Structure 1
């Protein structure tokens, strides 16, 4: 959601700050006031082409920034992190600087990024439906993505992609086996010999380090024995010599404990005795461990055997290491690789049979996905056509066709369907691909009908899911901001009211910003901004025309609606404006 749009020295706008409402925001103003510059700013921060000719007269550069709020599970977060940016308090900052001369600069949350990266992020946050921005879903791929996004076919889509990936992996494996040459067979021989050599040694993870530790103990046996014996002699001489009559450290500690226990006066004597007993217990453990060290002393005769084994393992790690774990992992992978390199007719036949099984699984999954898409296409087509009738486009219709492909190349990573959005602009007209059969205003209303129908279908899918889980249903709201320009071209009267009502409905599930000249549309907005053109000052005309952007509320908004209705602010038009604002409220 766009929280803030700030502009400096772009076209006639010297400085402007726009804070759209979370729901619907209307941008109004007289024709030629500069409303298009707001869209130019959005296009700039969306990675659009920079035009230095649009820098404000007398300024060195133009700058625009959009602040977007993103949800904790928004898909755009991953794209931002891949660009090296972590959202700050759930916000992303997209900015663009365009100098009078030189290259523009794209910045994402303070980090310079390529323009394409900014465009990728913005495409997941903003959708502009204007004369130069139409047909976001004109391509077959985008139409398929749009249909899948609203059809609720996640289960079928995931199942198909898993089946397709398995089939694709098998095709790659078979192709590799069929095209192998003598070098591959030599590689297989090398792998077999290497596997045999490793198996002969039979290394165990960490074995070499364990052996080196044992060797170190043998080589330093005298030092170890002397040190351990010295420690035991000091702590408990009886462990070293049975003839010793010296008291052990443990005996001395016990004597001290008994002495403290015998004190019957007030003081911390019992606590001190407890501490000595705890110390004595630790001391006993130490003495036991030291005696074990003497008992576990390695035999010097084992040194040659250990060195020989370390040498064997070292040969393996030098060739396939650096660690024994790497050697073992290499061997295990080599076993699998040998199977692929051993392209015997029997092996290929076995894999071809497995490939056919995977193909049938993928075909079945593609069929289920196609059925889900076909059902969704029928629902979406019907909804859009019904919406068009209420948007001054009676006789217009949208037909979404899902055509299963046939033949060996029927399947691809996205299924087995060809999907086409065909638009009929008026009754009796032939069906034509979107973008080749409607004016700018008609396309904007068609896209509004599509976005509104898609939002309703997504909400229905969510509600069904929540009912299945016995949860309370709620409105599904996305991070997307929809911007509509020219959507009211050629519309008036009752159709204009219905247009505003539908924009307000869409604003329940996403943020909507509409550039409009119709009061019947603007009255439905939750917030309204007026773009005003100010002629140059007679004493200082170097700055040229200045455009201001200001939010209007309460009486100021009534006056703006009145101006839009009749071009005047008479009492009659003001009353009409108040009545229109009062009536422009969604029920329920």
Structure 2
């Protein structure tokens, strides 16, 4: 339950601390006194966005503070753990929010949190129902949520099949979304690139070899002249290297006879002669292998041009050109296989839809099993709040797959005897719709795990005995939840376990909002004011006391 709400410098509120009890807490006061500021403060604590315009005139900041005491902390602790906070200690949860002109600080149990974390906590802590929220009951999606919540219906199996169904459906839609002419142009463009690269038969090693051979042939004449000059210097003509080596060899043959160690010199010199002969053979072979024909040079020119052109168009290196070509070939394969892929996906979609249809039928059957029971329960609640001959109905109609099933839900309502059942959304009276909402809340409250329910003027546009019936129904719902209810009806206010009166006063030219916890003496006076205005009489006071006596058993 919500134990305490503290508000400081928020709009008209200077500094207020309000304590709440279990059961039905009613909040009353004249229009404009600031009742809704309390609910607004609570909304801020549950993740609603705020700005500096909320700060009381003349102040630099405003703050709101709430203390919850929870019997069951599991849902809250799961969220706290998910956002990296410690679980509640003894069920205590404290939420603070401070708003300044330049910042917005939020803490939970003295640890900073995001607004998103607050919203998640709010979803399991408080169910807020404002003066216009009853209109949400006209939304067929909300109606479906109510039916499923009442029946505690599990959607997980259906949602898994629906996720697969939509995934394949999106793939088919993507295939069908492309313009055929654009698609054909893309295929032709990729086909040209891939063919140009593949037909060139590029190879990084060949590129190096071609460049090297091209360089040789371009300088073939000079290469041959140098090679011949080298051979001539080594082996030909008077004074060549080979001739000198041979003369030295002959001299060493004579020297060996005089100096035995000259044999080593002779052997080394013989090795040198052999080396010279091998170098000459190698030079002559290499020079002889050079193909300096015009045909060969033309082929090398063309090949080098091919490498340079493709690198200029498709990549800075041969490796990059080949990598891009492989990617484009894969894209081309995928584009050309779209028809086959589409056919495969459509066959897959048919199979998935069979499973989806089966689980959708199971979901519908589960809803149909609880629809009549929900109708009966809400009808009984409506009788209690003034629709003596009213009847509530739940219509389920098959529809195409949606994230929540294959059903359309329509709440029907016949307020009076002899009237035809009509969809709830066709009922014009906001008072009637408000009571249907209350009846729905009363039915769901017994199984709803949210500890705090807030009703902000749910009793708008009703009065008299119906107001008393609504008050008694709120008191009944308060047996399972803590209720905070802003009301203008004395019949509703008389049913509360705790009564808070909001008023405003002017001091030194400034307006202040005050909240007073009423006791046995002051509560009849507030009810008398609600019954007859500011000038209450003994008659209205007596009427107020009688109302409190009549509701004391609640």
TM over 0.5: yes
SS in structure 1 of the partner of residue 80 of structure 2: helix
How many Å apart are 1:129 and its aligned residue? Answer: 1.9
Residue 137 of structure 1 contacts residue 146 of structure 1 at CA under 8 Å; is this kept in 2? Answer: no
> Paired residues, what number?
397
Residue 385 of structure 1 contacts residue 397 of structure 1 at CA under 8 Å; is this kept in 2? Answer: yes
Match of 1:555 among 504, 517, 521: 521
Query: Which residue of the partner structure matches residue 579 of structure 1?
Result: 546
How many Å apart are 1:452 and its aligned residue? Answer: 0.7
SS in structure 1 of the partner of residue 405 of structure 2: coil
Q: TM-score, normalised by structure 2?
A: 0.60
Residue 77 of structure 2 contacts residue 88 of structure 2 at CA under 8 Å; is this kept in 1? Answer: no
For 2:33 and 2:21, locate their aligned partners in 1 and report how far apart those are by CA, in whole Å: 22
Query: Which residue of the partner structure matches residue 535 of structure 1?
Result: 506
Query: Which residue of the partner structure matches residue 82 of structure 1?
Result: 82
Query: Which residue of the partner structure matches residue 64 of structure 2?
Result: 64
Query: Which residue of the partner structure matches residue 452 of structure 2?
Result: 481
Residue 424 of structure 1 contacts residue 437 of structure 1 at CA under 8 Å; is this kept in 2? Answer: no
How many Å apart are 1:140 and its aligned residue? Answer: 4.5
Match of 1:507 among 457, 478, 502: 478
**Change beyond 3 A, Cα 1:535–1:429:** farther
**Change beyond 3 A, Cα 1:586–1:400:** farther
How many Å apart are 1:438 and its aligned residue? Answer: 4.4
Q: TM-score, normalised by structure 1?
A: 0.57
Query: Which residue of the partner structure matches residue 280 of structure 1?
Result: none
Larger radius of gyration: 2
For 1:78 and 1:97, locate their aligned partners in 2 and report how far apart those are by CA, in whole Å: 25
Match of 2:358 among 364, 371, 391: 364
- Unaligned segments of structure 2, at least 5 residues: 174-336
Query: Which residue of the partner structure matches residue 419 of structure 1?
Result: 409
Query: Which residue of the partner structure matches residue 35 of structure 1?
Result: 35
Please list, as runs of the form range in 1=range in 2, the aligned pairs for 1:262-341 lying within 5 A after superposition. Answer: none
More helix, by proportion: 2
How many Å apart are 1:398 and its aligned residue? Answer: 5.3
For 1:507 and 1:358, locate their aligned partners in 2 and report how far apart those are by CA, in whole Å: 46
Residue 387 of structure 1 contacts residue 449 of structure 1 at CA under 8 Å; is this kept in 2? Answer: yes
**Change beyond 3 A, Cα 1:354–1:44:** closer
Match of 1:451 among 441, 449, 474: 441
SS in structure 2 of the partner of residue 416 of structure 1: strand
How many Å apart are 1:426 and its aligned residue? Answer: 8.2
Query: Which residue of the partner structure matches residue 50 of structure 2?
Result: 50
For 1:70 and 1:140, locate their aligned partners in 2 and report how far apart those are by CA, in whole Å: 33
**Change beyond 3 A, Cα 1:442–1:104:** farther
**Change beyond 3 A, Cα 1:435–1:515:** farther
Query: Which residue of the partner structure matches residue 466 of structure 2?
Result: 495
How many Å apart are 1:518 and its aligned residue? Answer: 2.0
**Change beyond 3 A, Cα 1:131–1:559:** closer
**Change beyond 3 A, Cα 1:57–1:171:** closer
| Stretch of structure 1 that moved more, 354-363 or 507-516 | 354-363
Query: Which residue of the partner structure matches residue 252 of structure 1?
Result: none
For 2:134 and 2:66, locate their aligned partners in 1 and report how far apart those are by CA, in whole Å: 21
For 1:114 and 1:108, locate their aligned partners in 2 and report how far apart those are by CA, in whole Å: 10
Residue 70 of structure 1 contacts residue 479 of structure 1 at CA under 8 Å; is this kept in 2? Answer: no
How many Å apart are 1:41 and its aligned residue? Answer: 0.9
How many Å apart are 1:394 and its aligned residue? Answer: 7.3
How many Å apart are 1:502 and its aligned residue? Answer: 0.3
**Change beyond 3 A, Cα 1:173–1:32:** closer
**Change beyond 3 A, Cα 1:350–1:36:** closer
Please list, as runs of the form range in 1=range in 2, the aligned pairs for 1:103-502 lying within 5 A after superposition. Answer: 103-135=103-135, 139-154=139-154, 157-161=155-159, 359-388=353-382, 390-391=384-385, 399-405=393-399, 410-421=400-411, 431=422, 434=425, 437-439=428-430, 441-455=431-445, 458=447, 478-502=449-473
Residue 499 of structure 2 contacts residue 523 of structure 2 at CA under 8 Å; is this kept in 1? Answer: yes
Residue 457 of structure 2 contacts residue 486 of structure 2 at CA under 8 Å; is this kept in 1? Answer: yes
| Stretch of structure 1 that moved more, 90-99 or 55-64 | 90-99
- Unaligned segments of structure 1, at least 5 residues: 176-342, 459-476
For 2:56 and 2:345, locate their aligned partners in 1 and report how far apart those are by CA, in whole Å: 67
What is the RMSD of the two structures over their aligned residues, measured on CA atoms?
4.3
Residue 425 of structure 1 contacts residue 437 of structure 1 at CA under 8 Å; is this kept in 2? Answer: no
**Change beyond 3 A, Cα 1:499–1:359:** same
SS in structure 2 of the partner of residue 124 of structure 1: helix
How many Å apart are 1:151 and its aligned residue? Answer: 1.2
Residue 444 of structure 1 contacts residue 484 of structure 1 at CA under 8 Å; is this kept in 2? Answer: no
For 2:415 and 2:130, locate their aligned partners in 1 and report how far apart those are by CA, in whole Å: 18
For 2:415 and 2:54, locate their aligned partners in 1 and report how far apart those are by CA, in whole Å: 36
Per-residue deviation, residues 129-179 of structure 1 (Å, max 9, x unmatched) = 22355545565544333221111334xx4554566578789999999xxxx
How many Å apart are 1:61 and its aligned residue? Answer: 1.4
For 1:585 and 1:110, locate their aligned partners in 2 and report how far apart those are by CA, in whole Å: 40
Per-residue deviation, residues 12-37 of structure 1 (Å, max 9, x unmatched) = 21111222222110001223321121
SS in structure 2 of the partner of residue 535 of structure 1: strand
SS in structure 2 of the partner of residue 508 of structure 1: coil
**Change beyond 3 A, Cα 1:389–1:103:** farther
How many Å apart are 1:351 and its aligned residue? Answer: 11
How many Å apart are 1:395 and its aligned residue? Answer: 8.0
| Stretch of structure 1 that moved more, 35-44 or 61-70 | 61-70
SS in structure 1 of the partner of residue 98 of structure 2: strand
**Change beyond 3 A, Cα 1:396–1:8:** farther
